[in-house]
Amino acid sequence: MSNESVTVQLKQKKDFQFEINFGNSLPTILGDEPPPIGEGKGPSPAQFLAAAVGNCLSDSLFFAIKKYNGNPEPIECDVTATIGRNEQGRLRITHMHAAIQLGAAAEDLSHLERVLTQFEAFCTVTQSVGQGIPIDISITDANGKKLK
């Protein structure tokens, strides 16, 4: 078992705007809340979370398909995070849906059925977030055939 850690540094620039530094010479990103709270000059925390889930799922699926020498490129993923109120009336992300589209036809990818039953288990972010937020995943191939 690996005990790694990831550190991200945030510095407030103005009101709800924070510069987010990922280190390792990666570009700094500005995060902001949407109006009327913020100015919407950068992605919101909910958008960052949705992006993390979609990126992790796409990476995991890509890795699993490549393991069997398949080429699913280009993969596209749309993630919708539904925001609603909890019992106390506080805003929360209540549900997420990730729609992944492969850039290849299903019949051109070997072991796809096995891949589709296993890839989610290896997605660190989605498995972690999914412990608190329900996440549904749908997958289609390049021809629009629903695979999951």
pLDDT digits (tens, 9 = 90+) for 29-44: 999 999 999 999 999 9
| CATH number of residue 60's parent domain | 3.30.300.20
DSSP annotation of 107? G
Please check whether residues 58 and 123 belong to one and the same domain.
yes
Sign of CA dihedral 77, 109, 71, 27: positive
Residues 99, 77 contacting (CB under 8 angstroms): yes
Cα gap 8→55, rounded to integer Å: 17
Cα gap 47→55, rounded to integer Å: 12
Cα gap 86→94, rounded to integer Å: 8
Mean pLDDT for the stretch of residues 47-56: 98
Please check whether residues 58 and 124 belong to one and the same domain.
yes
Which single residue is written with the structure tokens 């913020």?
Answer: 38
Please check whether residues 81 and 107 belong to one and the same domain.
yes
End-to-end CA distance of the chain: 30
145 falls within a domain: no
pTM, entire model: 0.93
Helices (H), the chain: 45-67, 112-118, 124-129
Average pLDDT, the chain: 96
Q: Give the model confidence (pLDDT) of 80-99 as tens digits.
A: 999 999 999 999 999 999 99
How many CB atoms within 10 Å of residue 137? 22
Q: 31: Cβ–Cβ under 8 A, 6 or more apart, which residues?
A: 10, 17, 18, 19, 20, 42, 43, 44, 45, 48
Residue ranges making up the domain that contains 51: 45-140
147 falls within a domain: no
Band of the pLDDT at 1, cuts 50, 70, 90? low
146 falls within a domain: no
Mean pLDDT for the stretch of residues 1-25: 93
Q: Give the model confidence (pLDDT) of 123-147 as tens digits.
A: 999 999 999 999 999 999 999 999 9
Task: Specify the number of domains making up the chain.
Answer: 2
